[in-house]
Structure 1
Amino acid sequence: MRVPLQGWARPRISQQFAQALDRRELPRGARTFSIPSLWITADDSTAGSRTLRYMSLIPRAGLRRRGVSDGEVRAAVRSGSIVPVRRGVYVDPATTDLSDDRTRRLLELRAAVLSSDSDLVVSHSSAALVHGIDLWPDIDRRAHLTANRSGGGRAGTSRVVHASPLHPDDVTTVDGVRVTSLARTVVDLACSRPFESSVCSGDAALRRTSADDLAATLARAHGRRGIDRARRAIAFMDGGAESVGESRSRVYLHRHGLPAPALQCDVLDESGRFVGRPDFLFDGVIGEFDGLAKYREYGDAADVVIAEKLREDRLRSLEWRIERWTWNDLATSALADRLRAALTAAEGRAPLGSTRRHGTVANCGEVRVQDGNRA
C-alpha cells in the first residue's frame, strides 16, 4: 500500500516532473530534475515524529519502484537536486539544513536504520545523539546498533552492530526509531568509553533519568565486558553538573586529589537574599568554569560579562574566594595548585551569609569531604 509522507518536509518539484513520475516516464529531453519523495511504501519509512521522522530521506528502492533509473539518479546528484546521505539513500537539500552537523548526523543515522535489519536497536553514541546527550570527545560518526543476542557483533567503516541481550526496559522509541533507553545508553557508554567521557554523558543523562533506573540497568549488565569500569564511572556521575565543561572539571578535581565540591548551591547574603549559584562550592572557595556557552546563551555577551562581574563583586564582598578556569586549564596541573592554595587560605574563615542547595533548604556550606567523597 502506498502512503503519503504526511508531516514530512516535501521537496519543491515541478508539476511536469510529478506528472511524469505518475506516468513512470520523464519529460522529453530532461537531463536534470528534483527527485520528489511524494510517495513511498510503508516499509520504506519508520513512523514517528520530529527530529528523525521529519527528514525527507529518499530511499533508492522507492525511486526504483517509481521507475527512476540509476542514470537519472546520478544526474540528480550531479545537479545538486539530491545529496547522498548513505549508499542508496538521498536527501533533498532544499528541505534540510545540511550545514547543521547534528541534523546531518541524524540523517546519516536514519539512513543507516532504513538499510538495517528491523530488529536492530540504535545504541551507544548513536543513541546519545538521538536522546540529545552531548558526548566528549565526539569523534565516532559511525552508526551504532545493538542486536538482542549474546554474540555475533561486527564493525564496519560506517556501522557498528553490537551483540548484547536487551531487557524490555532497555528499549524505548524516539521519533519512531527503536533506541536504547537513557539508562541503558549510559551503561553501554560506560562499558565501552574512558572514564572521563562516560562521566560527561552520564552527568547529562542524570538530569533526565533517575539514579534508580540507572542502578537497575547496571545490575542487569553484570558479567558484561567493561562492567567494572562502568560501575566506577556511574558511581561518580552527578546530574548537578550542567555542562561537559563542568563534568570534565569534576573529573579533573578527582584526579588531582582535590575535595569534591558541592553542586547546585545558592549563595545568600546576610539578609537571606540570593546572590548567585556558582558552578562549584568548596569550603570558603567558589569555583567557576568559564566556557563560551554561558556568554552566548544568556543575551548580549558584553551585558553578560558585566552582570558576571557585578555578581562576582557581591560574592567577594561576602568574603568568598573565587577561582575561575577554562578548557585549557584542565590540561595542566597549575589549576590544581591554584585551588589548593585558595583552599588553604580559606581555612578557618567562614564567608558571610549562608548557602543552600538549589531548590531545597540543605546547607551546602556544611558539606565536608572525606577521601574525595561528599560525607
Structure 2
Amino acid sequence: MITSLAEQLLLARDLVETGRDDRELARACAAGEVARVWPGAYVEVGTWRMLDPREQQRLRSIAALATRRKDGLLLSHESAALLWGLPTWGWPAGPVELVDPTARRGTSTARLRVRASPLHAVERASRSGLPVTSLDRTVADLLFSRSRVQAVVLVDHLLHSGLATREHLRVLLAARPAARRRRAAGWAVDFGSAGGESPGESVSRVLAHDARFVEPLLQVPFADGDGPIGVVDFAFPVPNDSGRLVLGEFDGDVKYRGATYRHGRTPEQVVQDEKEREDSLRALPATAGFVRWTRRDLADASRLTEKLRRAGVARRR
C-alpha cells in the first residue's frame, strides 16, 4: 500500500526533467483535476479523496521527503510511525517530521519539522524503499515526545501485537537517561497491557485509572448454558463481592462499519446481534452491571466517569 501511494505522486521536478512545463500541474490543480499534496507534489483528485486522513498524512510525508533537495534525510517520529503501521489516537494532523543526521540544528514550521540528530547504523531502516528511523528508534522517539495517553496507545499496541516486550521497552528508555519526559514514558511502559486491542480501549483505561476506578480485567471470555457468548473488553471487579463484575464495552465505529468485524452482516444486523449478546451478558449471575461508551465519551473524561459511576464501577481507595 505504501509503495502504491508513492507511485501515485506527480512531481513537478519530474516534468521539468522531461523538458515539460512544471506549471502544467498547477493548471491541472486549478482545474480540479489533481490535488496539491505538498509544494511541488500532486496526486489525482479521485485518488486523494479515497484516502482516509491517516493515509493522506502518510502521502504528505512521502511527498515531503521526495521533494527535499538534501540527501540523507529520514522520516521520523509520527511520520515514521505511519510507515511502520503504529497506531495513533485520533487522525494525525501535525507537521511532517524528518531527521537530518548531518545538521547542527533543526528547523520547524507549521508544515514541516526537521530535527538535527545523529543516527547509528542500527537506527536507520527502509520501509517500501523509503528511508525511515528504525522501529526501535521510532518507538523511543514517540515515547519521549507523545502525550501520556498516546504513549499508552503505542505501548498497548506493541505488547498486544508482540512487536516488543515490556523489558525491551525499558531498555530503550534506559538508553536515554537524560531525556525529558522520562518519568511519563516510564509510566506508560509500566501501565501498558497486552490486553489493549484498540486505541479507544487504551484511552479508556487511562481515563478510568485517572478517575481512580478499580483496575479492570481485559478481554474476558464469557459463556452460559447455550455456549460461548463472547469476549468483553473490560470487567471491573466488585470489592467485597468475589466473582461479581461490572462489564464494560468500548464501541468504536469499526464495530458497526468495518467490513472485517461485520463478517458480511449489515450494520443493522450487527446492532441486533450486539443487543442479544448484551442481554445474555446481563443475565449472567456474575454480572453486577453493564456499561457501554463511545469516542464521544472519551473526548470528555467527565462523560466516561459518570457512565462508569452510574454502572456501579467501584473506585480505588
Aligned to 1:329: 297
Measured after TM superposition, the shift of residue 312 of structure 1 is 1.7
The worse-fitting range, judged by mean Cα deviation, of 159-168 and 186-195 is 159-168
Aligned partner (choices 229, 245, 264) of residue 275 of structure 1: 229
Task: Give SS of 1:264's match.
Answer: strand
TM-score normalised to the size of structure 2?
0.81
Q: Report the Cα offset of residue 65 of structure 1.
A: 1.8
Which residue in the other structure is 1:342 paired with? 312
Paired residues of 1:97 and 1:103 also in contact (CA < 8 A): no
Residues 122-161 of structure 1: pairs in structure 2 closer than 5 A: 122-138=75-91, 140-148=93-101, 152-161=105-114
Is 1:177 the counterpart of 2:146 in the alignment? no
Relative to 1, partners in 2 of residues 1:264 and 1:62: Cα closer, same or farther, differing over 3 Å? Answer: same
Aligned pairs for 1:358-373 within 5 A: none
AA aligned opposite 1:303: Q
Q: Distance in 1 between matches of 2:269 and 2:158?
A: 31
Listed as ranges, the matches of 1:35-184 within 5 Å are 50-53=3-6, 55-93=7-45, 96-100=47-51, 101-116=53-68, 117-138=70-91, 140-148=93-101, 152-184=105-137
Q: Distance in 2 between matches of 1:248 and 1:242?
A: 11
Structure 2 stretches lacking a partner, 5+ long: 238-244
Q: Which residue of 2 aligns with 1:27?
A: none
Given residue 95 of structure 2, which amino acid in structure 1 is its aligned partner?
A: R
Task: Measure how far apart 1:73 and its partner are.
Answer: 4.6
C-alpha distance in 1 between matches for 2:183 and 2:266: 45
Q: Secondary structure at the match of 1:134?
A: coil
Partner Cα separation in structure 2 for residue 175 and residue 140 of structure 1: 23
Q: In structure 1, how many angstroms separate the alpha carbons of the residues matched to 2:39 and 2:82?
A: 21
Query: What amino acid is aligned across from residue 309 of structure 1 in structure 2?
Result: K
Which residue, out of 143, 149, 166, partners 1:196?
Answer: 149
Q: Deviations over 1:61-117 (max 9, x none)?
A: 2221211134545444444454432222233446x3434233432221111111233
Partners of 1:300 and 1:132 lie apart in 2 by 28
Matched, 1:227 2:182: yes
1:24 alignment partner in structure 2: none
SS in 1 for 2:139: helix
Task: Name the SS for the 2:151 alignment partner.
Answer: helix
The C-alpha deviation readout for 1:209-229, integer Å capped at 9, x for no partner, is: 112443332222332232222
Q: Secondary structure at the match of 1:277?
A: strand
Counterparts of 1:323 and 1:74, CA distance in 2: 53
Match of 1:296 among 244, 247, 257: 257
Which residue does the alignment assign to 1:356? none
CA distance in 2, matches of 1:207, 1:245: 14
Residues 52 and 334 of structure 1: is their aligned pair in 2 closer, same or farther, counting only changes over 3 Å?
Answer: closer
Distance 1:311 1:49, change over 3 A: closer
Question: For residue 62 of structure 1, what is the amino acid of its counterpart?
Answer: D
SS in 1 for 2:249: strand
Residue 155 of structure 1 deviates from its aligned partner by 0.7
RMSD in angstroms over aligned alpha carbons?
A: 2.9
Whether the aligned pair in 2 keeps the contact of 1:137 and 1:197 (CA below 8 Å) is no
> Normalised by the size of structure 1, how large is the TM-score?
0.70
Distance in 2 separating the partners of 1:145 and 1:113:
8
> Is contact 2:99-2:116 (8 Å) kept?
yes
Note if contact 1:124-1:188 (Cα within 8 Å) is conserved in structure 2. yes
Counterpart in the other structure of 2:204:
249
Going from structure 1 to structure 2, the CA distance change for 1:138 and 1:82 (only over 3 Å counts) comes to closer
Letter paired with 1:110: I
What is the rounded CA distance, in whole Å, between the counterparts of 2:180 and 2:313 in structure 1?
40
Deviation at 1:277, TM superposition (A): 0.4
Structure 1 range deviating more: 131-140 or 300-309: 131-140
- The aligned amino acid for 2:181 is G
Is the partner of 2:171 in helix, strand or coil?
Answer: helix
**Any idea what the Cα deviations from partners look like across 1:218-270, whole Å, max 9, x if unmatched?**
22233223222221222222232222221111011110111221212212336
Contact 1:127–1:179 (Cα < 8 Å) also in 2: yes
Q: How far does residue 160 in structure 1 lie from its aligned partner after superposition?
A: 0.5
Long gaps (5+) in structure 1: 1-47, 345-368
Alpha-carbon deviation of 1:194?
A: 1.7
Q: Which moved more, 1:141-150 or 1:157-166?
A: 141-150
